[in-house]
Amino acid sequence: MLGALTILLVFQLAGEAISLGLSLPVPGPVIGFILLLAALLFRGGVPDELRTTATGMLQHFSLMFVPAGVGVMVHLSRLRDEWLPITVALVLSTLLTIACTALVMNWLMRRFSRKDAA
Amino acid sequence: MTPRLSDIWVYLSTTPLLGLTVTLLVYQGAFWIYKRANFNPLLNPVPISVAVLVLLLTVTHTPYQTYFDGAQFVHFLLGPATVALAVPLYPQLGKLRRAVIPVIGALIAGGIVAAGSAVGIAWLLGASDTTLLSIAPKSVTAPIAMGISEKIGGLPSLTAVLVMVTGVIGVISAKYILNFLKITDHAVRGFSIGVAAHGMGIARAFQVSEEAGAFAGVAMALTALASSILFPLLLWAFTR
């Protein structure tokens, strides 16, 4: 577990260094994610220890959003003043986004797999 | 002489230990309810934990910053966990490679709808300019959304809150929308929730299947990459 955690932190650190060094707008962890994927491809598989640790961490991914979520208390007054536009925009936009993304992807998947079969 | 209860509280309330422990306890309580309710999306543990913690902090007059001094240790894990998303994605790469065109098409459609409809609806209902600029990147993962918000003139900390609320709405509603639209492919289900509801969507998708989780992870990463490049470009084009 310690080894796997170190691997993850090393890749995150490399991502942060690249992001800062090249002043990219993409955050370090996302670059670290791409680097780790490239490393796994190069190696041709996932080490067991890394798989166990990653799976364990991602099972509790929700928990990691709680501290930032509690930050809602700092903005309660603005949210109270503009609750209607904010609530309607967030709810409708999120529903629309899920529906549009799913429909477009589903349609393209069917279209292109049919082409493959033909 | 034994210390008084209020003295103990004064000491404990200023150490990081309390914020961290309370976060873990509250989350595990919320998760226990969620599990007992057969993972009913309406009882997602994140909004429940947040509500309980906000209530606790308000009742005890604890400032958010004091709480965060402890909770930041949990918050910190978001970084390595994001890197760890490469692990479940690896076995799905074959399927991802065959779905390159659907993935890119869905990303473009979803991204435009996510930002455009949020700003459009909020504008129609008379939201302030600050709110409009802060709401635009609401479907992007928090660290990037905050960066974008800052670049285009919104309030990064307000954006963080709007991103969280978006995530909660996404994880609660996704199952119902996708079932209604009769979407059965786990890759499509995962990807759409990842585009709309970033990391929180990924967490939800992993509770359904590895495949859904992996595609939600790809969606979050691609949305992050695309929007961190496109938002500043759009602003540049509009302000010229």
pLDDT value, residue B227: 86
pLDDT computed for residue A77 by the predictor: 84
pLDDT, tens only, B175-219: 999 999 999 999 999 999 999 999 889 989 988 898 999 999 999
d(CA B219, CA B216): 5
**Domain boundaries defined on chain B:** 1-76, 79-240
CB B85 within 8 A of CB A61: no
Between A and B, how many CB-CB pairs are < 8 A? Answer: 317
Q: Give yes or no: residues A48 and A13 share one domain.
A: yes
Chain A residues within an 8 Å CB radius of B228: 24-27
Residue B2: per-residue pLDDT: 67
Cβ of residue A28 closer than 8 Å to a chain B Cβ:
yes
Contact list in A for residue B177 (CB cut-off 8 A) is 95, 98-99, 102
Q: Which of B91, B147, B202 sits opposite A25 (nearest CB)?
A: B147
Q: How is residue A21 annotated by DSSP?
A: H
Q: Are B46 and B73 in contact (CB under 8 A)?
A: no
Residues A56 and A87 in one domain: no
Residue A78 domain boundaries: 72-118
**Contact map slice: A 79-108 vs B, CB within 8 A:** 79, 82, 84-86, 88-106, 108
- Judged by CB atoms closer than 8 Å, whether chains meet at A97 and B177 is answered as no
pLDDT at residue A117, as a whole number: 43
Whole-model pTM: value is: 0.85
The total domain count for chain A is 2
Interchain CB distance below 8 Å, B125 and A88? yes
Q: Are residues A20 and A39 in the same domain?
A: yes
- Shared domain for A52 and A78, answered yes or no, is no
Please tell me the predicted confidence (pLDDT) of residue B228.
79
Tell whether A78 and A53 lie within a shared domain: no
Task: Say yes or no: A52 and A76 in one domain.
Answer: no
Among A18, A43, A62, give the residue marking a domain's end: A62
For each successive 10 residues of chain A (118 residues), what is the average pLDDT? 93 94 83 93 93 90 88 86 93 96 95 59
Residues of B in contact with A61 (CB under 8 A): 81, 199, 202-203, 206
DSSP A44: T
Mean pLDDT, 10 residues at a time, chain B of 240 residues: 73 82 96 92 89 94 91 90 90 88 94 93 93 91 82 84 91 95 95 93 90 92 84 72
Domain check: are A78 and A44 in the same one?
Answer: no
Cβ-Cβ contacts under 8 Å, A24 against chain B: 228
Query: Does residue A67 lie in a domain region?
Result: no
Q: Are residues A6 and A47 in the same domain?
A: yes
User: Does residue A33 lie within any of the structural domains?
Assistant: yes
Tell which of B69, B83, B204, B233 to mutate to test the A interface (max A CBs under 10 Å): B83
